[in-house]
Amino acid sequence: MRFNEPLNKKMLGEVDYGIFYSLFLLLAIGIVMIYSASSFYAMFKYKNSMYYLIRQGAFAVIGIIALVMMMKFDYHKLKKITPYLLICTIPLLIAVFFFPEVNGARRWIKLGILSFQPSELTKYVVVMFLAMSIDLKGDRIKRFWDGLVPYLAVAGFFAAMILAEKNMSIATIIMIVTFIMLFVAGGQIKHLFGIIFPAMFSLAIFFIFSSDYRRARMLNFIDPWKDAAGDGYQLIQSFYALGAGGITGLGLGESRQKILYMPEPHNDFIFSIVGEELGLVGCLFIIGLFLFLIWRGIRVAMKAKDTYGKLLAVGITSIIAVQAIINIAVVTGSMPVTGVPMPFISYGGTSLVINLMAMGILLNISSQIEKSVT
């Protein structure tokens, strides 16, 4: 089959049901845990314990519809719209500066009761662009200046725009995933690990210590009890939650930290509420689901029939993997606190819908690996 030809539906195989079922299991767990974690906070703030459940449920329905649509949409056709999407993300990223700050950052476009976070879309659009362009470049990716540097420049440009929003976490994810894709595409080890990795690490350290609030987070991570009522408060509450849960947890709905101790427990630190209510067993089960999902995503990438599909699958899987790893590391105190939601588990409409759309693309890639006509 030539991939520049229209997709013949008869050539489609079945989607990867391992990805499909693990994804929906994570989604179901996320909705249940969002209700459990947010009910008290929602009652206190909105006088409606189901406020966040209703909103997340509505976004889940929209996301599932988007997933099904992308499952049926030949991923090769994304090449045509990728340049336009890349251009459109620029004004969207600029538009956030015309809206009020939220917790000291400008990341959202607010339209009435709805809000949209352009950086969530941007990270996937950058992946789509890299997959399309690297596929066209071929073996020239082994070169440094005209092979690797242009992609680092494009990814760095969008990462810098997101960094200006005070969102270093998403900017970092974009650069990490770019590095992974360049490695998988065939970039030379001496260039990637001898020049690019040290440069990226050095820039990360520079940006951390060049900003007062980022530097405070780094120093707080080393000893959160030094400022237990300030910068260290959220991480310490996470420790209390995980410690109280023990092996089997206190039981679903029985968290104590969600009762206005943990700030917004349904967001980035929801995994600590999982640990408190479902214990180590529940945490390991969720980690196992993510590991299974990531393994199946890697398997799809390895079996993809073309370079474009392989790189697209690698990029999508890498975003989910890196976000999950960072979120778990933050909640367990293994790295400085940063605002990275846990995919499919944390509350957030933009993140959920766009992640589900991306998984629809991955499932479409998986449906084309079984049957091929030469």
Both tokens of residue 330?
A: 């933050």
128 assigned to some structural domain: yes
Reported residue count of the chain is 374
Identify whether the C-beta of residue 355 lies closer than 8 Å to the C-beta of residue 63: yes
For 368, list phi and psi in degrees, rounded to 5: -105, 5
Is the Cβ–Cβ distance between 338 and 330 less than 8 Å?
yes
The interaxial angle of helices 149-164 and 168-185, nearest 10 deg, is: 170
Please report where in the chains the tokens 């089960």 appear, as a residue. 285
Task: Please report the pLDDT score of residue 104 as a whole number.
Answer: 67
CB atoms within 10 A of CB 305: 16
Ranges in the chain, pLDDT < 70? 1-13, 103-104, 370-374
Examine residue 88 and state whether it is found in any structural domain, yes or no.
yes
At a CB cut-off of 8 Å and minimum separation 6, what does 281 contact? 247, 248, 249
Q: Which domain holds residue 199?
A: 9-367
Per the domain annotation, does 373 fall within a domain?
A: no
What pLDDT was estimated at residue 161? 94
Composition of the chain by helix, strand, coil, percent to 5 = 70, 0, 25
C-alpha distance from residue 69 to each of 38, 74, 135, 290, 358 (Å): 30, 10, 25, 23, 11
In a domain, 186, yes or no: yes
Q: What is the pLDDT of residue 30?
A: 95
Q: Which residues contact 219 (CB under 8 A, 6 or more apart)?
A: 226
**24 found inside a domain:** yes
Residue 204 and residue 218: Cα distance in Å, rounded?
12
**1 belongs to a structural domain:** no
Rounded Cα–Cα distance for residues 224 and 229 (Å): 9
Name the helix (H) or strand (E) containing 329: helix 307-331
pTM for the whole thing?
0.92
Closest to 98 (Cα-Cα) out of 88, 111, 89, 87: 111
Residue 3 has which token pair? 């991939």
Q: What is the 3-state secondary structure (H, E, C) of 225-260?
A: HHHCCCCCHHHHHHHHHHHHHCCCCCCCCCCCCCCC
Q: 4 in a domain, yes or no? A: no
AA identity, residue 147: G
- How many domains are contained in the chain? 1
Residues 306 and 3: beta-carbon distance below 8 Å = yes
Please check whether residue 2 lies inside any domain of the structure.
Answer: no
Please tell me the predicted confidence (pLDDT) of residue 123. Answer: 96
Please report the pLDDT score of residue 192 as a whole number. 93
- Read off the tokens for 13: 């195989």
Amino acid 3: pLDDT:
38
Which amino acid, one-letter code, is at 58? A
Stretch (H or E) spanning 34: helix 17-46
Q: Give CA separation, 364 vs 6, 7, 16, 59, in Å.
A: 14, 11, 9, 21
Nearest CA among 99, 149, 88, 98 for reference residue 121? 88
